[in-house]
Amino acid sequence: MLDDRLRLRRRGAYTAAVTTTIGVLALQGDVREHTRALEGAGARVVPVRRRAELEAVDGLVLPGGESTTMDKLLRVFELRDPLCAAIADGLPVYGSCAGMILLADRITGGIEGQQTLGGMDVTVQRNAFGRQVDSFEADLPMQGFEGGPMRAVFIRAPWITEAGPGVEVLARIPERSTAGEGLGEAAGKIVAARSGRLLATAFHPEVTGDWRVHAQFVREVNATRRS
């Protein structure tokens, strides 16, 4: 038995059987940072640009970047329909910032004709923070995450203005940024949420070196895969 396992492991088959493969949508955005974060959290990571690549992953990350560009490229690369179908079918997906916009059922502040993939019963306001606090960092306590508040980096970020009953709110904007700026009307806005197998953050944990969000996503993908 042990010999068999060792033989399989040597061929890579045993490892492949227990290693979760997570894709990062690689059309635009901070693909490299998410790849590093997921690898830091112990996953095998592959870029996804084609339908066949999408079909081979156990979970998918939609990176930060520019949601309008990703929307266009998803159509050009003929990934939009398969991805909508995969989400409907229960593929675990984590979206950060532009990725969160893509997961929202509804957006405000989108450009003419901008579409999302949807799946999460939320309304997301694009570029919600306004020019004064365009980019900032805040320490966010996050529901269900141990180890203290999460340093959250916001870059022309969206927020969630409305969340349906099936959506679990994981984090809201505090009163002040880490630098001490008052965050005004942003305070209290929802910036992290989960719904079924979908996870979304308005901020970018992939750039901080704190891999807790990615690690949690990898655990969820593992649990889904085994169930």
Ligand X SMILES: NC(=O)CC[C@H](N)C(=O)O
Catalytic residue of the set 34, 55, 78, 97: 97
Applying CB under 6 A, the span of 52-60, 93-101, 168-176, 205-213 interacting with ligand X comes to 93-101
* 140, 144, 148, 150 alpha-carbon torsion, rounded to 10°: -40
Return the range that interacts with ligand X (CB under 6 A); candidates 49-57, 59-67, 76-84, 218-226: 59-67
204 carries an active-site annotation: yes
Contact letters for ligand X, residues 121-150 (x by CB under 6 A) = -----xx-----------------------
64 lines the binding site for ligand X (CB under 6 A): yes
Helix-then-strand count for the chain, H and E:
8, 12
Which of 35, 67, 116, 216 is the binder for ligand X (CB under 6 A)?
67
Please list the residues that pair with 16 across neighbouring strands: none
Candidate segments 50-58, 62-70, 137-145, 206-214, binder of ligand X by CB under 6 A = 62-70
Q: What are the φ/ψ torsions at residue 163 (nearest 5 degrees)?
A: -130, 135
Q: What angle do CA 61, 163, 193 make, to 5 degrees?
A: 35
Taking the least distance from each CB to ligand X, the nearer of 64 and 92 is: 64
Whether the Cβ atoms of residue 112 and residue 139 lie closer than 8 Å to each other: no
Phi and psi at residue 23, in whole multiples of 5°? -95, 150
Q: CA–CA separation, 58 vs 23, rounded Å?
A: 8
**Which residues are part of a known binding site?**
65-67, 126, 155-156
Residues at the contact surface with ligand X, assessed by CB under 6 A: 64-67, 97-98, 101, 126-127, 155-156
